[in-house]
Structure 1
Amino acid sequence: MKKRLLGVIDATTYHEDLEELIIHRSLAAVPIAGRYRLIDFVLSNMVNSEIESVAIFPKFQYRSLMDHLGSGRNWDLNRKRDGLFFFPSPNLDGPQQGIGSFTHFAANLDYFYRSTQDYAVIANCYTVLNMDFRPVLDWHLASGCDITEIRQKGKSLEMYLVKKSLLIELIETRENTGYTCMRDVVADIGHSYRLCTYNYTGFTFMIDSINTYFNASMSILQPTIWQQLFLKDQPIYTKVKDEPPTRYLAGARVKNAMIANGCILDGYVENSIISRGVKIGKNSVIRNSIIMQKCQIAENCVLDSVILDKDVKIEPNTVMKASSRHPYVIRKGTVQGALMNS
């Protein structure tokens, strides 16, 4: 089985509704759940499915993504054979219409020719789920499918399983067929391929806007959702950082929150996600919010339904109140001190 599946992750997607969070980073590198990045989910799913060769095809602002993944050691992909591969886009202009650009693949066709795997899983980088791809392959083979599209309740998850030789054929004949990506093939009712759908029933969130990102993050705080995502026998791996435990000072109170390592808390945190190295000052109140790495919140602040990107500084006595439908986003590295009530 280890030699049967090849992993392909499309990291070229740019969702305009997430612009506030992806100006300085790839969508795949957006932090989530305190200590993870979006790509950690699909990449861990592949590793847990015994996929030993994974190719990542990035386009936008991928420095932070490469820094996060490194050699792939934290996913056991730093290998002499197979392992983790990066293939940045050489000439893709404008927005992509679907997952898995055949033009992007064509520029790195040698990778597909040299790989020893017979089948490929092509996936996006922004779906939060915990899935084993091995049953999909078994079902694909038993059903005699040419292409299997993974769906949930009739909606495509933009993940596909295809025989590698067919994928190479689709790449090489793209100019004649007009197919630019897997979505084009699936959407064409006139094609001659046997198309199948595999229904995934587990918890899934596709992150394509600030609202879906916020709602997914708040949902992860629910124990029933957490238990579906973070499984003991199918762990979600991420970059390991050696940081001290969080310090809870005398004034700290925490209720239904995820707190990463290295924080210093002296305020009240409720229904929120706090990333590594965050400092929350005395008498500050954080509710229904996402606070990313190394943010500093001074004393006597009130934050409700707010997303603070990395390295944001909130000055004393600042009040920011929004709603779950329209959470307020503070960009990376900015200083906020104005009174903002909405």
Structure 2
Amino acid sequence: MNNRLLGVIDATTYHKGLDELTLHRSLAAVPFAGRYRLIDFILSNMVNSGIESVAIFPKYQYRSLMDHLGSGKNWDLDRKRDGLFFFPSPMIDSSNSGIGSFNHFVANIDYFYRSSQDYALIANCYTVCNIDFSPVLQRHIQSGCDITSIQQLNQPLEMYLVKKDLLIDMIQTRRQTGYTCISDIMADIHQPYTICHYEYKGEAVTIDSVQSYFQASMELLTPDVWRNLFLRDFPIYTKVKDEPPTRYLNGCEVKNSIVANGCQIEGKVENSIIARGVKVGKNTIVRNCVIMQKCEIQEGCVLDSVILDKDVKVEEGTYLTGTQSVPFVVKKGSIQGALMNS
């Protein structure tokens, strides 16, 4: 049934609370869970649900996002027919931040006209979840809804299912109606459409601040949360990198942590998420931290409640400490030294 469903990912959103992690990348490309990006979750959900055509509408700093997704091969979207499409925002109405901006869609309206699918699923790029959209489409058709909003505990997840022809009409009549996006329609109690709600009961978290990002990362270390998010029959796909296994050297100690491949661990790692290619030196303690790709933490360091963005170097003997509610964030490619923090 889902060959009738078109996937649309709105990657134009900007959250001020994530400034420290989105300075050099779009929100969709923020690393998560050691080896994934935020967009991997909604994109994998769509592919696992049988969606064969996905359009991504990026806006800010999207070079790293395009590099990550490439042709869509890792999601089986490198196709001669349908597949993965990029439609960068023309920066029209840059003040609008609602999901499903009609001004962004109208610049590529031909995509919707030429698509053979009958329905469109419009979703944000920053909700971490694992949803099967098949029952959502079935419920939408059976109920005769104009718009189905997916929600959890009566809170919207900003994912909307709508008939494609109706979506095109919404786009074309946006100036007459005053609706600039799907979110505008949902917020108007006088809107003329039949709105339905689909309650999702699985794991879902919205990443809209450094605090929510850090909390969601730490919750992944709970086995039940991990198992409910990373389902065997609905895997989360990501860009494949051919890297060697992680080396655990003599004297190292790793507890309750997620460690990706290509790392070298000599010190102590506890309650942390370690991404690909990270080096942790001797007599170093990394506790309650999120360490992104290719960071180097030299000997004799102590890190507690810290987020290291990619390619950060922490020099020998450095102490970095944050809290669970306010983690200490080190920007991408920077150097942290003991003398700098004394």
Matches within 5 A, 1:322-341: 322-338=322-338
| CA deviation vs aligned residue, 1:74-127 (integer Å, no higher than 9, x gap) | 000000000000000013343433101100000000000000000010000000
Instruction: State whether residues 147 and 196 of structure 1, in contact with CA within 8 Å, keep that contact through their aligned partners in structure 2.
Output: yes
Name the CA distance, whole Å, in 1 between partners of 2:66 and 2:95. 21
- Cα RMSD, aligned residues only: 1.2
1:256 equivalent in structure 2: 256
Residue 269 of structure 2 corresponds to residue 269 of structure 1: yes
2:245 equivalent in structure 1: 245
2:144 equivalent in structure 1: 144
* Partner secondary structure for residue 261 of structure 2: coil
* Partner secondary structure for residue 227 of structure 1: helix
Instruction: Read off the aligned partner of 1:7 and give its amino acid letter.
Output: G
Name the CA distance, whole Å, in 2 between partners of 1:91 and 1:217. 32
Residue 2 of structure 1, CA deviation: 3.7
* Partner secondary structure for residue 282 of structure 2: coil
TM-score normalized with structure 1 length:
0.98
Residue 186 of structure 2 corresponds to residue 186 of structure 1: yes
Matches within 5 A, 1:125-136: 125-136=125-136
Name the CA distance, whole Å, in 2 between partners of 1:55 and 1:230. 24
Instruction: Read off the aligned partner of 1:172 and give its amino acid letter.
Output: Q
Name the CA distance, whole Å, in 2 between partners of 1:239 and 1:97. 28
2:80 equivalent in structure 1: 80
Instruction: State whether residues 309 and 331 of structure 1, in contact with CA within 8 Å, keep that contact through their aligned partners in structure 2.
Output: yes
| CA deviation vs aligned residue, 1:181-213 (integer Å, no higher than 9, x gap) | 001111222222111111111111100000000
| CA deviation vs aligned residue, 1:273-326 (integer Å, no higher than 9, x gap) | 000000010000000000000000000000000000000000000001111000
Name the CA distance, whole Å, in 1 between partners of 2:95 and 2:74. 31
Name the CA distance, whole Å, in 1 between partners of 2:97 and 2:177. 16
Residue 90 of structure 2 corresponds to residue 90 of structure 1: yes
1:58 equivalent in structure 2: 58
* Partner secondary structure for residue 3 of structure 1: helix
1:162 equivalent in structure 2: 162
Specify every segment of 5 or more residues in structure 1 that has no aligned partner in the other structure, as ranges.
Answer: none
2:30 equivalent in structure 1: 30
Name the CA distance, whole Å, in 1 between partners of 2:304 and 2:332. 18
Runs of 4+ in structure 1 deviating by more than 2 angstroms, as ranges, are 91-97, 338-342
Instruction: State whether residues 252 and 266 of structure 1, in contact with CA within 8 Å, keep that contact through their aligned partners in structure 2.
Output: yes
Residue 213 of structure 2 corresponds to residue 208 of structure 1: no
Name the CA distance, whole Å, in 2 between partners of 1:196 and 1:21. 35
Bigger mean CA offset, 181-190 vs 30-39: 181-190
